[in-house]
A and B are shown apart, each in its own frame.
Chain A
Amino acid sequence: MVDSEQTGVTSSSIPSAESLRRLAISESGFVFDPTSGHHFTVNETGLVLLRHLQQNQDLSSILNAVTQEYNVSHRDLERDVLEFLSLLREFVGEQ
């Protein structure tokens, strides 16, 4: 099993908490970025990650928190979170 400590993900690959906090996130998963004017939608788990990322930029603690709540292996979670982050960077431009 891969430990979350060894993810090698640095905070520089996460959009800043500030830029994430300005997003208008609806409970339905509808997200509007008031700076860029872009819309996108996230699913339930995407919403969970987004809420975490708005508060907290430490990836290993996010991974730990998510595994407390969900049935998921660290390996799968890490892959999914890395993919999610790469998409998020596309949609949320840093300013």
Chain B
Amino acid sequence: MDENNQMSDKNKKDWVKPTITPLRSGLLNKFGKSQNVGWVEDIDGIPITGLIEKYKSPLFVVSEKRLRSNFQRINRAFTSRYPHVLFGWSYKTNYLGAVCNVLHQEGAWAEVVSEFEYHKARSLGVPGHCILFNGPFKNRTILEQAVKEDAHIHVDHLDELFALEEIAQAANKKVDITIRLNFDTGYTEPWSRFGFNVESGQAMDVAWRIHSSENLNLTGLHSHIGTFVLEPKAYSNQVRIMCGFMDEIERRTGSIIKYIDIGGGFASLNALQSIYLPPEQVVPSIEQYAEAVCDTLLELTHEREARGVQRPVLVLETGRAIVDDAEVLISSVFANKRLPDGRRAVVMDAGVNLLFTSFWYNHSATPTRFLSGKPEETVLYGPLCMNIDVMRNSVMLPPLDVGDALVFGSVGAYNNTQWMQFIEYRPNVVMVQKDKIVSVIRKAECLEDVTSLESMPETLKIPFPNGEPDNLLSKHT
């Protein structure tokens, strides 16, 4: 870059990478893919170049403003349509402490699915009675703690139910529990591995079993119909089936259901690789989801009030729709390549090690300055020495210089939790806060962070106990 500047001469023309584009039958349309490559220079008013200078590339950037406004919009969409609504922040989507606390400050409870997540929520200061505890694997110790702290436990299988009964008995308590259900909505593949099946009568058997228990009380129903569900009607059906089941339990066992948890799975404006149309054409708005859920719920619970029973609280565990577009990953071009098939490729400093979701999304990749030159089909590779490390298989971009940054959009969900420390260190994560304050919310790893848990047996402390080996290569002629 400097070299270019030194030599730049106003009388000379700007150089653009020369390109050759083949014309293949069936794809004879170079206008077929978007030609307008925009660029983004800042995030919430903070210049990207400054961010890279200070916090290095790659860099995750969370927008607090966006996170809060996403939550508020979703909250409004549901609370304006149904009187009792509660959000559980889905920790597995993004459990960086700062992200969790922004959402707790907005009023969300914690929705956790493991011992680790439970500990994390507690360590952030979330009281046990504001925790929804899901998942198929809750060990005895954490179950005992959850019972003691009055967390809301969502039972996944009979073994867990029996364990809970023992714990409750030992503690001499009557514990309110929720059961997880699975059933076919007709729209999504049923996730039958979680919870109890409704159609087969299994769930009803469990409801009876709880009813007959001295120490357990069935007060909640939970189900989760899938992920990235694009059809709002699937949620109407879900609510319909759950309400039907609720009525049946209440009628037959006399239990009173306090809440219905419909999980999450609302799609975000991200481009799933398996879907033909662009996200803005297929992803319903949050209001459409809310309407499908709340209209059905209102309709099916309106006679409860006549019976003197309150309408159940609607619990939502929406994660992706809240956090996905509130975080970006800034990554820089490390090298340019030309593949044998003629496509252009670049090596970026971030790959699937950091952006796990690029396995199934086509994340938007936006330049950070105006790029001259025609957009051309480009492959974005990550830094890993592995063939599968591809950030985008095909994206239309003008030629990029080494050092040019790209902003990968909508990366807030499932990346800071599923990223891996493989070969590379994980980079800084910063949050842009009010008044343009930038705070590091997870600092970049160093060697010490990665090796601090290792310990070395006494006999293995030295790699070459008999002195360094011969330098065979220097002698070889």
Contacts and interface: CB of A to CB of B under 8 A. Distances in A.
A44 B16 contact: yes
Which of A46, A48, A49, A88 gathers most chain B CB within 10 Å?
Answer: A46
A43 interface: yes
Contacts, number: 79
Interface in B1-39: 3-4, 7-9, 12-23, 30
A84 B13 CA distance: 19
B15 A40 contact: no
A71 B18 contact: no
A71 B14 contact: yes
Given A71-B9, A73-B7, A46 B15 contact: no
Interface string A19-46: 0000000000000000000111111111
A69 B12 contact: yes
Contacts of A38: 22
Nearest to B20: A87
B338 interface: yes
Nearest to B1: A73
A73 B4 contact: yes
B374 interface: yes
A79 B346 CA distance: 13
B18 A45 contact: yes
B414 to A, nearest CB: 36
Interface string A52-67: 0000000000000010
Which of B7, B8, B9, B21 gathers most chain A CB within 10 Å?
Answer: B21
Contact of B22 (A40, A69, A76): A40
Given A70-B13, A87-B338, A87-B342, A43 B18 contact: yes
B18 A84 contact: yes
B424 to A, nearest CB: 25
A54 to B, nearest CB: 14
Given A1-B3, A73-B4, A90-B342, A39 B23 contact: yes
26 contacts: A38-B22, A40-B20, A41-B20, A43-B374, A44-B16, A45-B16, A46-B20, A48-B18, A68-B12, A70-B12, A70-B13, A70-B15, A71-B12, A71-B13, A72-B7, A72-B15, A73-B3, A73-B4, A76-B4, A77-B15, A84-B18, A84-B20, A87-B20, A87-B338, A90-B342, A91-B20
Given A87-B20, A91-B20, 15 more contacts: A41-B20, A41-B21, A41-B23, A45-B15, A46-B19, A71-B12, A71-B13, A71-B14, A73-B3, A75-B3, A77-B15, A84-B19, A88-B20, A90-B340, A91-B22
Query: Closest 9 A-B residue pairs measured CB to CB?
Result: A72-B15, A46-B18, A83-B338, A70-B15, A45-B18, A73-B3, A87-B20, A39-B23, A71-B12
